[in-house]
Amino acid sequence: MKEYILNTASSALVALYRFFAFHWEVAKRLVRPPYYPKLIWEQMDRVGVDSLPIVVLTSFFTGFVLAFQIGYALMRFGAKLYVGGIVSVSLVRELGPVLISLVFAGRVGAGITAELGSMQVSEQIDAMRALATDPIRKLVLTRFFAAVIMLPILVVVGDLIGIFGGMLVSVMNLGLTASFYKTSVINSLVFNDLISGFIKPLIFGGMISLVACYFGLNARGGTKGVGDAVTRTVVVSSVLVFLMDAFITKVLFLLGM
């Protein structure tokens, strides 16, 4: 039992060291070219534009259901007028960034790990290095920049769609007018809400892409290893989204945001 605990602890420490060493290698390359702008553009299309359908669906139904739940709860207190404000602030500050980032981790993160993992187990990464190319610059940084740029944009689009979903419920089921809903949304949202809703996906996008690239580049053992790596990416990314969300929320609260 003691040996098992020691072995598990030392394996965990080694894994953590490798994880941070990888991030250090990425950080060193962030500040110096080359950056491969054409590849970054291609990745932005893949991780951003191609994710739009699922982001739109997720956001619409989130706003839709949120308006229902909040609306019917507020009706008991005669306060359904506040639905627009509560739905928009909840979406912009919290639900939009977190739920869309979770969807992003499942779609984009898993895709990145599967792609890089398949390249790793078939020696394509070694071939890249043997051909005097840096895979961190060519594969990791391009996906990192694409994710950091596109996830906030996806969240903004998602928030708008979610607010629209809430508006449909408010008009069709809660007896509010569209113009009243719009006015309550505009009056409720403040600059700090927008900042909070933008900072989170900026950080989450970078985090998810780096986790996905790390597990992909460290996949071992053929197709099973790639599958395991994909699972790890989704689990670790999701947990980190929740952890970082709590941390960022606390920090913003302390900053008065």
CB of 130 to another protein, least distance (A): 4
Looking at 1, 5, 31, 130, which residue binds another protein (CB under 8 A)?
130
**Which one among 10, 49, 75, 129 touches another protein, defined by CB under 8 A?**
129
Report the distance separating Cα 9 and Cα 179, nearest Å.
59
Does position 132 interact with another protein (CB under 8 A)? The reply is yes
Lay out the site mask for another protein across 97-126 (x = CB under 8 A, - = otherwise): ---------------------xx--xxx-x
Residue 36: CB minimum distance to another protein, A: 10
Regarding 223 and contact with another protein (CB under 8 A), the answer is: no
Q: Residue 34 CB, nearest distance to another protein (Å)?
A: 10
The answer to whether 208 and 241 are in contact (CB under 8 A) is yes
- Which distant-in-sequence residues (6+ apart) come within 8 Å of 203 by Cβ? 244, 248
By C-alpha distance, which of 54, 34, 55, 19 is closest to 160? Answer: 55
Q: What contacts 221, CB < 8 A, 6 or more positions away?
A: 121, 228
Distance of closest approach, residue 115 Cβ to another protein, in angstroms: 8
Residue with tokens 């969807």: 103
By the rule CB under 8 A, 42 interacts with another protein: no
Angle 52-75/96-104 helices, nearest 10 degrees? 150
Residues within the interface to another protein (CB under 8 A)? 118-119, 122-124, 126-134
